[in-house]
Structure formats: structure tokens, C-alpha cells
Structure 1
Amino acid sequence: MDQNEHHRSADRIIVEKVLSGNTRAFGMIMKQTEGLVAQIVFKMISNREERRDIAQDIYLKVFQKLDSFRFQAKLSTWIARIAYNTCINHLEKHQSRTFKDLENMQADDETGNAQEHVDQNDMEEKLISAEFNTMLQVELDKLPEIYKLLITLYHYEELSYSEIGQIVNLPEGTVKNYLFRARKMLRERLEIIYNKGL
């Protein structure tokens, strides 16, 4: 049994338990995915008071829609997608332009030549070193919501391009290009700070 089959089997068991009325099993689903959901909500929603309500709304939707889950993706990916869509809906209601602006950029990304260069390696080593962590977090929080989210899902949650694409409803190529842009933006900001300190 490969890893994906193992995930599907474990997901199927726990979903069937919930659907047969086992509320404790839903508590286990929440416990297993709360870190991922929290990362999405925290990166996309800046208002602290709204975060708790949104998280509760996400799990209410998960509970209500669980019988429609078809095991085509991992359960955690499906829940992350619900979390992302819930945050998007919230931001759209509050007239956030960030995502609409990024949708307009998508056509450019599809034809763009976002090739990473060898000279990035030096800076990327600094990005992951301990002394940069605090600075990195501060600068990460200044990025557009979608960039913050993609970096978090890829580098911190260690999800694949495919899983991230399923969550944010973007093609893998666009996810890669957005990540390239996000890392480039971070790198440039950190280089400015680093050079000022010299």
C-alpha cells in the first residue's frame, strides 16, 4: 500500500465513523487538521477577532459537507480547500482587492518565464538560517495574502504543488510562478534590510 492509498484508507475509516454518528471521530479530524486550517486563516485574515469565527465556520461547513467528500484528494487537502474558500468569501465581502488583482496577473503568469537563477541559492540559505527567522516572519506578513499562504503551505506545511493547487484552485504552473514571485519579493526585501545593516 503506497502512502496515498494509506491516506485514503485512513480518511475513509474516520469519515465513515463521523457519518455513522461518532462525534469523537470528528474531533479527531479537527485535531489532525487544525494546524493547517489555522495557518490558512492566520495568513489570510488579519483581524484577530474574526479568525475564531471563521475557523468555527470552516469546521461547520466541513461537518455539513462531509457526506459529499469523494476521497479524490486527501481529507486534509479537501478541508484546507474549504478553509481557503471560506476566507476568500470573507475577504470578498469585506472588499479585499488582493485576490482580484492576482487573478488579473494569472494570464501573465501562464506565459511568463519565471525561471529561478543559481544566484538565488546564496540568499535562500540565509532565508532558512535561524538568525533570519524573525525578520523573515515580519517580511512574510507584509506580502499579499495569497503569497503568504502559498509560502506557508509549501515551506511550512510541506504540501506539494498539486495539493496547494487543489486548495487554492490554481494550476500547478501558476502555483509555481506565484511562489517564485513571493520568494523573489521576500528576497529583495531581505536584501535591502541586510545591505542596510552592512
Structure 2
Amino acid sequence: MDSMDIRLAKLARAGDRAAFAELVELYKDKIYHLAYRMLHNWHEAEEIVQETFLRVFTNLERYDETQKFSTWIYRIGTNLCIDRLRKRKPSYSLDSEMNEGEGTDWYSLLPSQEDTPDEQLLLSETQTQIRESIETLPEKYKAVVILRYLQDLSLQEISDVLSMPVTTIKTRLHRGREFLRKKLEKIL
């Protein structure tokens, strides 16, 4: 698949719109699942997919054909998710007064954490608890755990995506698993 990806990237770089459309078709669902698992918000995940392909399109000349295309696109998607997670952290007090006409407090602006009925049907109780536990992972462990266990990337691929040594990836993966194990022991 990687040689086909590289061929498609070369064609897209040369202006072949069909080749770029094929790259989008190959990776849109993978990037969506990555983003949804990191952000747990379908709307934000869709935005990340669009932003990822916009960045791929505008930076195709920067793609290094000696590297796997999948690594390059996962790096873009993962970095966009991490940026989004960082921006999410509120810098205001939930108890502070709001301007007139905006509601009574900041709590009313927080998105609901409830799943839709479709999501409730699709996820068993255990899967839900695991997903919620992954959501509570610190950022530095969350990306590694999601890329390894939910996107099934190798340690070397994760290292390439996050631009970190494999030893750091192993350490973060181990600590992330320990964090999850302790959290799940309390729940399950």
C-alpha cells in the first residue's frame, strides 16, 4: 500500500486531482477514527479530517518520499488533535459571571458528555468504560495509546508520527497502560 500511496502523492503533487481524491478516500476514515478517539467529539473529528487534508494538499511538495505516506498523514492529524486538546483547556472560572444575555454561568456552555442513542447501542458497558478511561489519560500518554492500540501502529511508526525516540514511546506506552490498568481496576 505504501508504494501506491507514494505514487498517488507524486501524481497529486503534479496536479492530478483524481490521485489526491484517491488519497482522501484511502485515509479519511482512518484520520476520522484517530481524531474521534482523541477528541471524543464527532464534529471536531470531522473538522480535523478536513484540516488534515487541507494541510496535506497545501504541503505535498514537502512530503519526503523516502518516508511512509501513512506516517506523514498520521503526524499531521495527530498534531492537529493535540493542538485542539490544548486549546480546549479553559482559561476561565466556571463560576464567574457572564455578560448579560449569555446565560447564567459558564456551565451552560460546556458540551454534553452523553452519548447519542446510536453510540449507546454500539458500545458495550466495558468498551464505554475503557473509552472513558482513555479520555482521562494525560495528553502525552493519550496519543501514544490511541496510535498503538486503536490505530494499530508499530512503535517505530508512532515514533515517526510523534517525532520521538522509540524508547520514549515505549516509556509513555508503559505508563499509559499502567494509568489505564489502575483506573480500570477501580471500575471493573
Q: Is this a same-fold pair by TM over 0.5?
A: yes
Amino acid at match of 2:36: F
Q: Summarize deviations over 1:96-123 as a string: whole Å, max 9, x none.
A: 89xxxxxxxxxxxxxxxxxxxxxxxxxx
2:79 matches 1:50: no
2:31 matches 1:37: yes
2:11 matches 1:17: yes
2:181 matches 1:182: no
Structure 1 unmatched ranges of 5 or more: 1-5, 98-129
Shift of 1:61: 0.6
Alignment match of 1:143 (pick from 137, 146, 149): 137
Q: Using the alignment, how far apart are the partners of 2:184 and 2:36 within structure 1?
A: 22
Please give the residue correspondences for 1:100-139 in structure 2 after superposition, counting only pairs within 5 Å.
Answer: 132-139=126-133
How has the CA–CA distance of structure 1 residues 139 and 90 changed in structure 2, closer, same or farther, with 3 Å as cutoff?
closer
Which structure has more relative contact order (CA 8 Å, sep 6+)? It is: 1
Amino acid at match of 1:80: Y
Question: Counterpart of 2:21?
Answer: 27
Alignment match of 1:60 (pick from 50, 54, 57): 54
Shift of 1:95: 5.2
Aligned residue pairs total 156
Q: Using the alignment, how far apart are the partners of 1:40 and 1:143 within structure 2?
A: 15
Q: Using the alignment, how far apart are the partners of 1:19 and 1:59 within structure 2?
A: 13
Q: Using the alignment, how far apart are the partners of 2:21 and 2:62 within structure 1?
A: 19
Is the CA contact (8 Å cut-off) linking 1:43 and 1:149 kept in structure 2? no
Question: Counterpart of 1:115?
Answer: none
Shift of 1:150: 1.6
TM-score (norm 2): 0.71
Q: Summarize deviations over 1:129-167 as a string: whole Å, max 9, x none.
A: x88433322322222234232222112222111110111
Is the CA contact (8 Å cut-off) linking 1:45 and 1:51 kept in structure 2? yes
Question: Counterpart of 2:82?
Answer: 88
TM-score (norm 1): 0.68
Q: Using the alignment, how far apart are the partners of 2:53 and 2:86 within structure 1?
A: 20
Alignment match of 1:191 (pick from 168, 185, 188): 185
Q: Using the alignment, how far apart are the partners of 1:59 and 1:184 within structure 2?
A: 34
Q: State, as a whole percentage, how many aligned pairs show the same letter.
A: 31
Deviates further, 25-34 or 46-55: 46-55
Q: Summarize deviations over 1:59-98 as a string: whole Å, max 9, x none.
A: 101011112211232101101111122233344445589x
Q: Which has the higher helix share?
A: 1
Q: Using the alignment, how far apart are the partners of 1:131 and 1:47 within structure 2?
A: 19
The CA RMSD measured in Å over matched residues stands at: 2.5
Shift of 1:51: 3.1
